[in-house]
Structure 1
Amino acid sequence: MPPPGSDLVTFEGYGPIVTLGGEHWSYGHNGGSSIGGVIEFVFYPDSGYVTVFMSNHDMDSLRGIPGLARKLIITS
């Protein structure tokens, strides 16, 4: 069960980050450097969708976009 007030549970081990949001699993990875250049890759096995976001700027340049994509994918 997610903690009270939380919609997502995130697991991390050796490899991709796995997230459980309600009944929907996703896994992927993100990273970058402090001087610019970031990427976020997430696979949604229930729906078959894959999202890839890349930017030549810091991680703040992606702020809100991956969360909006998750919301659109798991509610479709």
Structure 2
Amino acid sequence: MDSRNERPEETRERLRQEERKNNPFGAFGDGINRAEHGSLTDLTGGLGWKGTGVILLVLVIGYVIYNIWF
């Protein structure tokens, strides 16, 4: 596939795979930590921009309500 026609998600995944091929042991520790705690990249990549926007909106509204309440 031509890199000009790739979606951003495909580009990120291709770059991640290339990095994994070039430095397999450097990504090993990252993979272990990601398996234990999850990763913001995986979360936002899976949700898309709408899901990410909803999560951010909920966090901002919660923060505002917390500041008003306390």
- TM-score scaled by structure 2? 0.30
Q: Of Structure 1 and Structure 2, which has the larger fraction of its residues in helix?
A: 2
Higher strand share: 1
TM score, norm. by length of structure 1: 0.29
